[in-house]
């Protein structure tokens, strides 16, 4: 990798600022000042900037227990961003694998590996996402049976051309349900319950495919995925 790229990967410098830092003789490779930005370096080299040694940021995979009031987005709006909860370098490179609404809590996978992310979100893969839902209105008896049937067959959401893909609805009690989706349309869970005249008051994602939210993580906490978890997709 070129030295200017190495610096932009490991520091807050852009490549053009990295070149300027090299020109000011601030960058050393294996103890020698290097001014040529095209110099090839790798993990076997000791690279430093202003005396601080630098290590390449590798590909990262982690799970976050997203609290309410945090946005799964790349740009700051009204709310703090999911990647800002991760106290690692260069977290702006970590993208959420499928978003949750600001008020939704639960499992968010984050990575800088676009291909891995695509394997999970690609509609072709039909990856199951499990949501715990709290409803404003009780849903029981015949009405619950009709909802289960309707979700299994697919419902046409406002503004959509095609019905939703088969979804498994399980009622835990009159106002609490578990819904398993194999797709991820915008606000899908809330819109599905709106389509049957109900309203979601609380929404929590508990798993994505074979990866369940680690019960040891409090809202706002995160951990790296294990090798097995990464390999599961
Ligand atoms: N469906 C929703 O309505 N909101 C989410 O955050 C996730 C799925």
Give pLDDT tens digits for 27-79: 999 999 999 999 999 878 999 999 999 987 779 999 999 999 999 998 888 99
Q: For ligand 1, say whether the CB of 199 is within 6 Å of any of its atoms.
A: no
Percent of the chain whose pLDDT exceeds 70: 100
Nearest CA owner, ligand 1 atom 3: 187
For the Cβ of 105 lying below 6 angstroms from any atom of ligand 1, the answer is no
CA-nearest of 125, 116, 86 to 217 is 86
Share of the chain above pLDDT 90, in %: 87
Q: How far is the CA of 50 from the centre of ligand 1 (A)?
A: 46
Q: Is the CB of 164 under 6 A from ligand 1?
A: no
CA 67, CA 84: separation in Å to the nearest integer?
12
- Which residues have CB under 8 Å from 160's CB, separation 6+? 185
Angle, vertex CA 117, rays to CA 111 and CA 122, nearest 5: 165
Task: State the closest ligand 1 atom to the C-alpha of 187, by its place in the atom list counted from 1.
Answer: 3
Indicate if 101 belongs to the active site. yes
**Catalytic residue (one of 12, 30, 101, 112):** 101
Ligand 1 midpoint to CA 71 (Å): 12
Q: What is the pLDDT of residue 43?
A: 78
Kindly give the distance from the C-alpha atom of residue 172 to the centroid of ligand 1, in angstroms, as a whole number.
19
Nearest to 111 by CA among 75, 131, 79, 82: 82
**What is the crossing angle of helices 3-10 and 15-23, to 10°?**
110
Per-residue pLDDT, averaged over 205-215, amounts to 98
Which of 2, 182, 210, 218 has its CA nearest to residue 98? Answer: 182
- Ligand 1 atom at minimal distance to the Cα of residue 100: 6
Distance 142 CA to ligand 1 centre (A): 26
| Domains by residue range for the chain, with CATH | 3-54 (3.10.290.10), 61-231 (3.30.2350.10)
- What pLDDT sits at residue 76? 84
């Amino acid at each position: 990798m070129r030295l200017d790229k190495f610096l932009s990967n490991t520091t807050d410098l852009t490549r053009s600022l990295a070149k300027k830092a090299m020109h000011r003789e601030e960058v050393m490779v294996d103890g020698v000042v290097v001014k040529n930005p095209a110099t090839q370096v790798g993990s076997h080299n000791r690279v430093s900037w202003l005396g601080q040694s630098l290590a390449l940021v590798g590909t990262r995979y982690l799970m976050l227990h997203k609290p309410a009031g945090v946005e799964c987005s790349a740009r700051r709006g009204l709310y703090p961003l999911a990647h800002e909860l991760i106290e690692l370098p260069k977290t702006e490179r970590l993208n959420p694998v499928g978003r949750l609404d600001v008020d939704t809590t639960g499992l968010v996978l984050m990575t800088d590996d676009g291909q891995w992310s695509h394997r999970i979100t690609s509609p072709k893969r039909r990856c199951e996402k499990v949501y715990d839902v709290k409803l404003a209105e009780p849903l029981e008896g015949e009405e619950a049976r009709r909802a289960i049937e309707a979700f299994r067959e697919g419902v046409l959401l406002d503004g959509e051309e095609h019905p939703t893909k088969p979804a498994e609805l399980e009622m835990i009690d009159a106002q609490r349900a578990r819904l398993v989706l194999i797709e991820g349309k915008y606000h899908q869970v809330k819109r599905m319950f709106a389509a049957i005249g109900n309203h979601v008051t609380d929404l929590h994602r508990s798993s994505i495919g074979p990866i369940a939210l680690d019960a040891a993580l409090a809202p706002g906490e995160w951990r790296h995925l294990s090798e097995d978890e990464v390999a599961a997709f």
